[in-house]
């Protein structure tokens, strides 16, 4: 059964378009993340679903009912705001009860739902405090609690972790994942943080430039990005992209030549690549490993060395000035300024044609 569907939703502020025809189907109880940089339109889309903004055209359906003309309170959605937006003059209990009272839910039912939600979120000790007396993490739980008691068909989370410090963010991420198992409802989360999106979502909607760039499961987005934007935006550190010349090679797979002449054999089918044209090659850091100078595919100079413990990231500058990110062992001895060899795993490389479309290595060959 579909939960939410968006059909060709468009929105502009005056002459500035912010959404260019967004269409999306959400499965029952699915957790979807809208991932994109600021200005990509993801927050506007969330607000249109919530009813806080009106789309210029297009339709919004929720569980078989068209909702785009309904008031925000009548749509069966709940929104957890980035800054929580708790009512400062009400206690936690009153905050949670406010929406239910407006919906004319009987008092005994209100009390029961609050008790239940408070236990789930471990905020039962805080029910009679005001938001000003709570810590950031506690406010977040109350904001979630206020959404849960409404028993909405769809939860909307606007950058839910962005106001928490690093330690709390990791804990809350785990809690959100657990919570998700308990509430029988679909969830949409807006975020600019790919780690949040990757760990929590069933599917990720990558947005940029007013449009959906790609919809897919987290690993699909990572392994088979649809285009240059998605490839660069998802993954940290970002995929290295180098200009190259494409050459057809035996077996129907493309062979490309870097600016300094180095040849790399890929597993990308030549079928839909431009012939011998200008092309770009994309390499995830884990597909470039550091070796002794002269022993790898290409040599470069280590510019930055980031020691992460389990592995070391080496940012190397090639002789033509372009930069490439490579991975070395955790106990790597590479220091800044030394020359290193780089072993490129061409079988995992992606190729981008002139309009930015990404071509992937054929998977059944791997």
Partner 1 sequence: MTTAAHNNRLPLTALFGVLLGAAIMVAPLVWTLLLSLKSNSELMRDSSAAFSAPYTLENYRAILVGSDVPRWLLNSIIVSLGTTAAVLMLCSLAGYGFARLDFPFRRTLFVFVLLGLAIPEQAVILPRHQLFATLGWHNSYPGLILPGLAAPFGVFFMTQYFRAIPKDLDEAAMLDGASRLDVFWRILLPLTLPAQATLGVFTFLGSWNDYWWPLISATTSDKYTLTVGLAAAQMNYAQTSGLGFLMAQAVFASIPILIVYIIFQKQIVQAMAGAAVR
Partner 2 sequence: MMERRVSGMVFVLPFIGLYCFLLILPFVMGLWISFHRADLFGSRHWVGLDNYVRLFADPVFYQAMGTTFTLAVLIVPALTLITLLLALALNRASRSAAIFRGLFFSSSVLSVTIVTLIWRFVLTPDSGLIAKLLTAMGIEPLPFLSDPNLTVPALAITTIWWGLGLPMMLFLAGLQQIPQDMYEAASLDGANRWTTFFRITLPSLRRTTILVIMLQTAAQLQIFGQAQLLTQGGPSGSSRPIVLYIYEVAFGRWELGYAIAAAEVLLLLILALMLAQYWLSTRGEEVQR
The nearer residue to partner 1, 102 or 250, going by C-beta atoms, is: 102
Q: In the chain, which residue ranges form alpha helices assigned H by DSSP? A: 42-50, 92-102, 107-121, 136-148, 166-182, 194-200, 218-223, 228-233
The set of residues, in sequence order, having a beta carbon less than 8 Å from that of 2 and lying 6+ positions away, is: 25, 26, 27, 28, 61, 63, 64
Instruction: Supply φ then ψ for residue 25, to 5 degrees.
Output: -120, 135
Q: Which of 28-36, 46-54, 154-162, 355-363 is the region at the interface with partner 2 (rule: CB under 8 A)?
A: 46-54
Residue 52, interface with partner 2 (CB under 8 A)?
A: yes
Is 173:144 a contact under the CB 8 Å cutoff? Answer: no
Contact of residue 54 among partner 2, partner 1, none (CB under 5-8 Å per partner type):
partner 2
| 3-class DSSP state of 100 | helix
Contact of residue 71 among partner 2, partner 1, none (CB under 5-8 Å per partner type):
partner 1
d(CA 177, CA 198): 12
| 3-class DSSP state of 200 | helix
Contact of residue 258 among partner 1, partner 2, none (CB under 5-8 Å per partner type):
none
Task: Rule CB under 8 A: choose which of 83, 119, 178, 365 binds partner 1.
Answer: 83
Contact of residue 79 among partner 2, partner 1, none (CB under 5-8 Å per partner type):
partner 1
The nearer residue to partner 1, 7 or 105, going by C-beta atoms, is: 105
Residue 354, interface with partner 2 (CB under 8 A)?
A: no
d(CA 173, CA 180): 11
Q: In three state form, how does the secondary structure of 117-152 look?
A: HHHHHCCHHHCCCCHHHCCHHHHHHHHHHHHHCCCC
The nearer residue to partner 2, 54 or 103, going by C-beta atoms, is: 54
Shortest gap between Cβ of 55 and partner 2 (angstroms)?
Answer: 12
Shortest gap between Cβ of 287 and partner 1 (angstroms)?
Answer: 43
The nearer residue to partner 1, 130 or 211, going by C-beta atoms, is: 130
d(CA 97, CA 95): 6
Shortest gap between Cβ of 71 and partner 2 (angstroms)?
Answer: 11
Positions in 93-122 near partner 1 (CB under 8 A): 98-99, 102-103
The nearer residue to partner 1, 13 or 87, going by C-beta atoms, is: 87
Shortest gap between Cβ of 153 and partner 1 (angstroms)?
Answer: 13
Interface characters, 42-81, with partner 1 (x: CB under 8 A): --------xxx------------------xxxx--xxx-x
Q: What is the largest CA-CA distance in the chain?
A: 77
The continuous run of DSSP H or E covering 8 comes out as strand 2-13
Residue 15, interface with partner 1 (CB under 8 A)?
A: no
Strands 339-344 and 298-307: antiparallel
- Bridge partners (DSSP) of residue 289 are 327, 343
Nearest residue to 272 via CA among 364, 362, 366, 359: 359
| 3-class DSSP state of 178 | helix
Task: Rule CB under 8 A: choose which of 8, 25, 39, 54 binds partner 2.
Answer: 54
d(CA 26, CA 63): 10
Shortest gap between Cβ of 53 and partner 1 (angstroms)?
Answer: 10
Interface characters, 9-28, with partner 2 (x: CB under 8 A): --------------------
The nearer residue to partner 1, 154 or 268, going by C-beta atoms, is: 154
SS3 of the chain: helix, strand, coil, percent, to 5: 30, 35, 35
Cα atoms in the Cβ-side hemisphere of radius 13 Å centred on 164: 21
Q: Which of 49-57, 141-149, 183-191, 232-240 is the region at the interface with partner 2 (rule: CB under 8 A)?
A: 49-57
Shortest gap between Cβ of 296 and partner 1 (angstroms)?
Answer: 53
Binding region for partner 1 (CB under 8 A): 50-52, 71-74, 77-79, 81-89, 98-99, 102-103, 146, 150
Binding region for partner 2 (CB under 8 A): 52-54
């Amino acid at each position: 059964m579909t939960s939410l569907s968006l059909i060709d939703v468009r929105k502009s502020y005056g002459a500035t378009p912010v959404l260019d025809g967004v269409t999306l189907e959400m499965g029952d109880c699915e957790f979807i993340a809208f991932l994109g940089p600021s200005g990509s339109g993801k927050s506007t889309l969330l607000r249109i679903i919530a009813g806080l903004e009106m789309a210029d055209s297009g339709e919004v359906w929720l569980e078989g009912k068209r909702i785009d003309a309904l008031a925000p309170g009548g749509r069966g959605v709940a929104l957890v705001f980035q800054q929580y937006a708790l009512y400062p003059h009400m206690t936690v209990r009153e905050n949670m009860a406010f929406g239910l009272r407006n919906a004319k839910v009987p008092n005994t039912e209100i009390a029961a739902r609050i008790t239940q939600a408070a236990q789930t979120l471990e905020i039962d000790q805080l029910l009679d405090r005001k938001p000003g007396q709570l810590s950031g993490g506690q406010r977040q739980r109350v904001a979630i609690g206020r959404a849960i008691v409404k028993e909405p068909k769809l939860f909307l989370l606007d950058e839910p972790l962005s106001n928490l410090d690093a330690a709390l963010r990791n804990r809350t991420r785990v809690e959100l994942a657990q919570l998700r198992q308990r509430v029988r409802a679909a969830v949409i989360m807006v975020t600019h943080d790919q780690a949040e999106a990757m760990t929590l979502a069933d599917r990720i909607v990558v947005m940029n430039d007013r449009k959906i760039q790609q919809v897919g499961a987290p690993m699909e987005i990572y392994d088979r990005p649809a285009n240059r934007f998605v490839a660069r935006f998802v993954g940290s550190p970002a995929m290295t992209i180098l200009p190259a010349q494409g050459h057809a090679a035996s077996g129907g797979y493309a062979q490309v030549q870097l600016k300094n002449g180095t040849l790399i054999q890929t597993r990308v089918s030549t079928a839909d690549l431009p012939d011998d044209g200008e092309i770009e090659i994309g390499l995830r850091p884990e597909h470039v490993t550091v070796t002794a100078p002269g022993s790898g595919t290409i040599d470069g100079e280590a510019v930055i060395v980031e020691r992460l413990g389990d592995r070391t990231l080496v940012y190397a500058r090639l002789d033509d000035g372009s930069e490439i990110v490579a991975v070395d062992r955790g106990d790597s001895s590479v220091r800044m300024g030394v020359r290193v060899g780089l072993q490129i795993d061409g079988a995992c490389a992606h190729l981008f044609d002139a309009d930015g479309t990404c071509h992937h290595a054929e998977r059944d060959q791997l």
